[in-house]
Structure 1
Amino acid sequence: MRQNGEVISFKTVAERANVSREYLYRQFKEVIQQLRTAALQQVVTIDGEEVRVRSAGRAATIEVALRHKIKRLESELAEVRQQKMELDRRYERALGEAEEWRSRHQRAVTELLEVRSRLTSYGSS
């Protein structure tokens, strides 16, 4: 059971051995408790990090929680991408408007310099 990563409890051992839990409590209580304790103390290395081995039930609970979290994060990511696209569009629009105002300003400055030049030439004549 331990090698297969199965939960070691009085119930699971009794079911596997086809005996009553009462029998196990009377005859093998200490052995089963030691096996359970040893199973809880086991450590495996995953991606360079030591992690305690979990029971199948606990692992399944964690897996479900992580799957929900992944779905939530994927949804948030899609929303953020949508917001980024909208902000990119607004940015491009603002850049276009800024370019338009810059060219208008440039034309106005050019016209002003031309008018000044004409006024100066009228004043010298």
Structure 2
Amino acid sequence: MLARHKNLRAVTDLSAWDGVEGVFVMVLDRYKQVYIGQALDIRSCVKRHWSGTKQSDRLIFPDKPSSVLPIYSFRALDTSRIFAAFLGSIVPGRWRTPASLTPGKLVGLAG
């Protein structure tokens, strides 16, 4: 995905993305998961994901075999890497991800 979207940059200082509208990718290497999101404020959105909670009955949805843990189940130290791109640097209609990588969904990685 990074090869296809060269405008995604590694985030080394999250505060630099304060108030920035764009897309971001949170990589959870240990769990072989990736989360793709869009936000009006990337920094705030990532921090909300790290501090959010879900009721325990919402952790398994819609059923046990097809359930995926929500991004709110993970914290800052679970996130290995973050990549982000300014929304202005994305050509409309050109931000395409594989069908399995839907914005707002935590997805397993092969490997």
TM-score by length of 1: 0.21
Answer 1 or 2: higher relative contact order, Cα 8 Å, separation at least 6. 2
Q: Give 1 or 2: higher strand fraction.
A: 2
Q: Give 1 or 2: higher helix fraction.
A: 1
Structure number with bigger Rg: 1
